[in-house]
Amino acid sequence: MTKSQHQSIPQPINNEIRLGENQFIVSKTDTQSHILYINRRFMQISGFTEEELLNQPHNLIRHPDMPKGVFKLLWQTLKKGDEFIGYVKNICKDGSFYWVYAHVTPDYDSKGELMGYYSVRRAPTRTAVTTIDKLYTQMLSAEKNKQGDQASNASIALLEAFLATEKKSYFQFVHQLDNAETSA
């Protein structure tokens, strides 16, 4: 499948697939977020084949429950050359979903030129999923009936207000959730 042949995003169903504690999903993309490499775990959990994923935009697996503001924050962070760490709900080929704790880093060549992005994802704690799911639901609500930047800006404003009440930066909040004790 070529870059111009985009697959449609599956219809979501309420079926969660969970990564095992010691399982990692790995992918590499070009600068436009087209998938260049995936590991077997990525294919196993998503249900997509290598042929269905390679050269496709990474947002092929973006679940509609994910706020636009999270991805705007991700891209703002990566464009500054910084690493992004956060929680992401993805969709499987069959419409099931899975949560990941994602670590995305810019990938540079030997001359310091950006080549793309490298991402390693692992299982989040259940406490983190419960907390972040509630926050993402509120962010989605803030985005409702808005388009483009207005939608993502509205959810980022909600996130910033939440973080202000927590007296934490986004990354402090995410780190705290990652270290929260598993409740399930």
pLDDT in tens, 14-69: 999 999 989 999 999 999 999 999 999 999 999 999 999 999 999 999 999 999 99
How does residue 7 score in pLDDT terms, banded at 50, 70 and 90?
A: low
- Distances 181 to 118, 120, 126 between C-alpha atoms, Å: 28, 21, 9
d(CA 52, CA 6): 9
* 109-137 confidence digits (pLDDT tens): 999 999 999 999 999 999 999 999 999 99
- Average pLDDT over the chain, rounded to an integer: 93
Are the C-beta atoms of 84 and 61 separated by less than 8 Å? no
CA pair distance 138, 82, nearest whole angstrom: 26
Q: Does 5 score more than 80 pLDDT?
A: no
Q: Is 128 exposed, middle or buried (0-12, 13-18, 19+ CB in 10 A)?
A: buried
In one-letter notation, the amino acid at residue 179 is N
Per-residue confidence at 2, pLDDT binned at 50, 70, 90? very low
pLDDT of residue 4: 44
Quote the pLDDT of residue 181. Answer: 57
Strands (DSSP E) contained in the chain are 24-30, 35-38, 84-91, 97-108, 114-122
Amino acid at 55: N
Distance CA 91, CA 97 (A): 4
Span 24-178: which CATH code? Answer: 3.30.450.20
Distance separating alpha carbons of residues 55 and 166, to the nearest angstrom: 40
Interval 79-86 mean pLDDT: 96
